[in-house]
Structure 1
């Protein structure tokens, strides 16, 4: 389990650290204090072998279009103050003292490096000729316990984004991460694939039981082709099953969260704005389900929110369950930069009882 996260020059974060992380970590703060960016940084580090890793920084925020050029504009948005001369550092330390570090820097001319490792490309179909103009690149270096374990190069040629890597091994990827964005629902392809595997492996019972807190009549869910697209259908005891999208945003978002937690073991699940679409009266039960499934699958959960009712529900869950595996973290912007204030479950209860504003 990750115990601390360190970020330097990643987006708004300079020399920033989160400590005392637990099974469930709830991150709050006012608008534009970097809550979602913390989740993105974790995902960026863990998803480093994916050819679309950089594009996911846009899709996570539902950006439909972006600028591609050869001067680094594609990755400029992850640099503090958009300054490509800075070096980004993302570091995580786990409960066993293991340290994983990624550094990122912009290279104006990366021709020689890229040409030398093209034959190791993660996605060779995206690799294009590098014989003419100078190529700029986002160069990443990775270390585990101070031992170097590979490099990656993102670069643009002929309006295509490509990724080449050197000495990266799947065995060095210590954490698998899944990102559930603020508008996620269980109709996207990744969720469909994960749900299908859970159904095949008979691991759907916990998901059905969990969904019944929103729809008590639910008996089963199935994936059925509709207009040549896989569609989730629900059986609620009526004369026929009907599509999940008829049941509303909340159950679809919750299903996406449940699929994510149940389809990975020993990993990270990052949930942006968990509260979207879910009725406030259900929040204590939702937290209980997330806690149980996270522990069953040995997963660590990171949630962002600024919803008071969700925090009240978290407090109710902590008080009723006596659970101490929850950490609430508030991010504040000060004159010296972003700072984190931690509340364990007891401190959270005290703050809520005194009606302190901690969102």
Structure 2
């Protein structure tokens, strides 16, 4: 729950899913989402979830959706596949070589980006929670990844919450569109004396001015 009762969010485990609900405290409006997906900084957890999501998308004949988003990050990527050896499954990408490349060979950034993209594409009416979105991602593709996430989230009616300590991410958000109504920037902190958690939503004009003048907003 954020300060000034801007909104509150509840996550409840229900079988294999996490049911979620956001309440707009100002207007008393409830926004109910089917599930909540948490993308952590753990490579092992993300790998398993990504394989499941990609498998689902390939079964639904949505390979094109995956590739369109990945090509914005690395235009060499022309195909994606999942290969199983025994009980071990791996994601492979075609980047024009004589053989497919296991995704980890292209660097952590592509693997992490695919975990974001596949989750947003496969989920509908859901909340996607991304911890430290900048981890493993090269600064030069941050903006393209965020654009892809916004587009896919709108298409599937998903709400994304992403944390960051990165100035590159903050600049990318500002460069995308400081007037974009699809983006809100909230600064998390603690009160000096009580250490009570606080959250302050920036007016996007103030946010843009602060970023452009190199003021600290993290």
Please list the CA deviations of residues 81-140 of structure 1 after superposition, one character each: whole Å capped at 9, or x if unmatched. Answer: xxxxxxxxx98315984559xxxxxxxxxxxxxxxxxxxxxxxxxxxxxxxxxxxxxxxx
Q: CA deviation at 1:224?
A: 0.8
Q: In the superposition, relative to structure 1, how do residues 323 and 99 fare at CA in structure 2: closer, same or farther (>3 Å)? A: closer
- Cα shift readout 1:172-196 (whole Å, capped 9, x = no counterpart): x843111100234786333222211
Match of 1:120 in 2: none
8 A contact 2:73–2:144 mirrored in 1: no
8 Å Cα contact 2:121-2:152 kept in structure 1: yes
Using structure 2 for the length normalisation, give the TM-score: 0.86
Is 1:92 aligned with 2:22?
A: yes
Distance 2:182 2:40 in 1: 23
Compared with structure 1, are the counterparts of its residues 292 and 220 closer, same or farther at alpha carbon in structure 2 (3 Å cutoff)?
Answer: same
Task: Give, in angstroms, the shift of residue 287 of structure 1.
Answer: 1.5
Which structure would you say has the larger Rg? 1
Q: Which runs of 5+ in 1 are unaligned?
A: 1-5, 8-15, 22-40, 54-89, 101-172
Structure-2 separation of matches of 1:265 and 1:343: 28
More helix by share: 2
Q: Does 1:229 align with 2:88?
A: yes
Q: Shift in Å at residue 290 of structure 1?
A: 1.0
Superposed CA offset, 1:268-301 (max 9, x none): 0000001111111222222211110110111000
- Cα deviations by residue, 1:287-332 (Å, 9 ceiling, x for unpaired): 211110110111000000111111011111124xx42221111112
- 1:19 alignment counterpart: 6
Structure 2 portions without partners, runs of 5+: none
TM-score by length of 1: 0.54
Matches of 1:332 and 1:19 in 2, distance apart? 15
Q: CA deviation at 1:17?
A: 5.5
2:58 matches 1:199: yes
Q: Which residue of 2 aligns with 1:149?
A: none
Do the aligned partners of residues 293 and 99 (structure 1) sit closer, same or farther apart at CA in structure 2, a change above 3 Å counting?
Answer: closer
The CA distance in 1 between the partners of 2:53 and 2:119, in whole Å, is 8
Kindly report the root-mean-square deviation, in angstroms, between the aligned alpha carbons of the 2 structures.
2.8
In the alignment of these two chains, the number of paired residues is 214
Q: Which of 167, 184, 188 matches 1:327?
A: 184
Q: What secondary structure does 2:77 align onto?
A: coil
Select 2:34's aligned residue among 160, 175, 179: 175
